[in-house]
């Protein structure tokens, strides 16, 4: 069977994680990497782990001429320029089947729309990478509960939190380059997974209609002088001038278009979660049944005492965003699979080889951008946003949050 030749643009944190995930997916190879920081390291990893013998290209045009699919895994502020160059390469003859884009599709609705236009204008299939929707823990729980749902009724509320102690690269902290703070970075996951959990069996990802969004954001830890200073010294980002939210929480309501039933997603996202490391937690409540996921609970744990701690060189070896090198630590045997990275790549590979879009298209990614931007609007206007109102829809089309314009001091 044919293998999908994939080119990576971006060779940082997520590219390395996805390369780990690719080891668990058949019929694909890492064929090309765009020349940027860590490209050589990623190429060496690919060679050692049987993922291929990637060539490193200095231009997107050259890379496009040598692959079947491209994964955009670079920072949020680089999206449009990169997609424009891919579209230009296709126009000049590059024979690509599809493009993958990491979350978020772009920083604003305007830019997200442009991403979709460029991809579709170039006749490319698309896959939007929202890994949580491919989490086996979620999907297996839902599968197990389908008979109960049939008998008792659908889930009525889904809760999702994604929290860690703060991002690993300076651009994430900069609200202008990233597009906001914790909500833009991680709220996109939480909103999407709530909608997914609430979606009735067999219905498409955009089945539930968003009705309203209510969100509150704050700067709880990283705005304090002591932590502001740490942030400035480590990442060169000044939260006294251009702050971003490190905490966001809210409720989104959806309507089932067939039954009219209203269901709700409750989300919390933060960059001030000083526990073991990244925690994704979800729960779903239905009439007479429930489900719950907590990615910090693992069948394995290790203990490292103070003396032995000096020997631990890399605290993040076994758990994303690990904050500690000693004590009782959780060890996840297969994080790439746990968080859904394996499932999302497998789906993109199978879909593109079949000349189809991925399960989550860029149009879906655009919808998620719209919901995240509605959260910023709700916070700015301190009210519940009616997502069905034509004037709100129009406002959102060109909305750019104050936080993402560097004016966060007005609203945080």
Ligand X SMILES: NC(=O)c1ccc[n+]([C@@H]2O[C@H](COP(=O)([O-])OP(=O)(O)OC[C@H]3O[C@@H](n4cnc5c(N)ncnc54)[C@H](O)[C@@H]3O)[C@@H](O)[C@H]2O)c1
Q: Which parts of this chain interact with ligand X (CB under 6 A)?
A: 9-15, 34, 36-38, 73-76, 78, 82, 102-103, 131, 169
Contact status, residue 188 vs residue 104, Cβ threshold 8 Å: yes
Strand runs labelled E in 92-167: 98-102, 125-129, 157-163
State how far the Cα of 248 lies from the Cα of 408, in Å rounded to an integer: 14
State in angstroms the smallest separation of the CB of 198 from ligand X. Answer: 21
State in angstroms the smallest separation of the CB of 186 from ligand X. Answer: 8
> Closer CB to ligand X, residue 154 or residue 269?
269
State in angstroms the smallest separation of the CB of 232 from ligand X. Answer: 18
> Closer CB to ligand X, residue 107 or residue 113?
107
Contact status, residue 122 vs residue 91, Cβ threshold 8 Å: yes
Peptide bond into 104 cis (omega under 30): yes
Return the CA Rg of the chain.
Answer: 21
Helices (H), 28-77: 39-48, 60-64
> Closer CB to ligand X, residue 131 or residue 268?
131
> Closer CB to ligand X, residue 240 or residue 334?
334
> Closer CB to ligand X, residue 15 or residue 291?
15
State in angstroms the smallest separation of the CB of 409 from ligand X. Answer: 24
CA distances from residue 333 to 292, 293, 299, 300 in whole angstroms, order as listed: 20, 16, 9, 8
State in angstroms the smallest separation of the CB of 152 from ligand X. Answer: 33
The total of other beta-carbon atoms located within 10 Å of residue 88's CB is: 15
State in angstroms the smallest separation of the CB of 162 from ligand X. Answer: 8
**Which residue carries 């895994």 as its tokens?**
73
Strand runs labelled E in 108-246: 125-129, 157-163, 209-218
SS3 content of the chain, % helix, strand, coil (to 5): 40, 20, 40
State in angstroms the smallest separation of the CB of 101 from ligand X. Answer: 8
> Closer CB to ligand X, residue 73 or residue 208?
73
> Closer CB to ligand X, residue 37 or residue 334?
37
Which residue is nearest to ligand X, using beta carbons?
12
């Amino acid at each position: 069977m044919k293998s999908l030749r994939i080119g990576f643009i971006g060779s940082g944190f997520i590219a390395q994680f996805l390369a780990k995930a690719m080891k668990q997916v058949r019929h694909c190879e890492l064929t090309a990497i765009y020349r940027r920081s860590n490209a050589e390291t990623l190429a060496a990893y690919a060679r050692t782990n049987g993922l291929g013998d990637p060539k490193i290209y200095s231009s997107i045009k050259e890379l496009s001429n040598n692959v079947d699919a491209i994964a955009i895994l670079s920072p949020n502020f680089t999206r449009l320029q990169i997609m424009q160059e891919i579209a230009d390469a296709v126009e000049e003859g590059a024979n690509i089947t599809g493009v993958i884009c990491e979350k978020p599709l772009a920083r604003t609705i305007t830019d997200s729309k442009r991403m979709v236009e460029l991809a579709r204008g170039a006749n490319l299939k698309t896959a939007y990478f929202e890994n949580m929707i491919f989490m086996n823990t979620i999907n297996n729980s839902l599968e197990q509960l389908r008979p109960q749902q049939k008998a008792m009724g659908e889930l009525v509320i889904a809760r999702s939190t994604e929290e860690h102690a703060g991002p690993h690269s300076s651009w994430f902290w900069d609200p202008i380059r990233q597009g906001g703070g914790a909500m833009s970075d991680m709220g996109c996951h939480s909103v999407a997974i709530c909608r997914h959990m609430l979606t009735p069996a067999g219905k498409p990802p955009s089945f539930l209609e968003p009705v309203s969004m209510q969100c509150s954001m704050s700067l709880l830890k990283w705005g304090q002088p002591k932590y502001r200073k740490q942030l400035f010294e480590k990442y060169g980002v000044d939260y006294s001038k251009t702050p971003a939210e490190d905490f966001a929480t809210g409720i989104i309501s959806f309507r089932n278009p067939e039954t009219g039933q209203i269901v709700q997603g409750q989300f919390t996202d933060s960059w001030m979660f000083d526990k073991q490391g990244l925690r994704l937690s979800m729960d779903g409540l239905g009439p007479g049944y429930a489900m719950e996921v907590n990615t910090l609970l693992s069948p394995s744990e290790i203990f490292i005492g103070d003396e032995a701690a000096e020997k631990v060189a890399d605290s993040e070896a076994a758990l994303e965003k690990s904050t500690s090198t000693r004590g009782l630590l959780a060890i996840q045997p297969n994080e790439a699979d746990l968080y859904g990275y394996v499932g999302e790549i497998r789906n993109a590979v199978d879909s593109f080889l079949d000349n189809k879009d991925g399960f989550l298209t860029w149009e879906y990614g655009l919808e998620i951008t719209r919901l995240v931007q509605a959260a910023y609007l709700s916070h700015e206007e301190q009210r519940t946003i009616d997502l069905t109102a034509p004037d709100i829809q129009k406002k959102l089309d060109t909305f750019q949050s104050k936080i993402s314009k560097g004016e966060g001091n007005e609203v945080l």
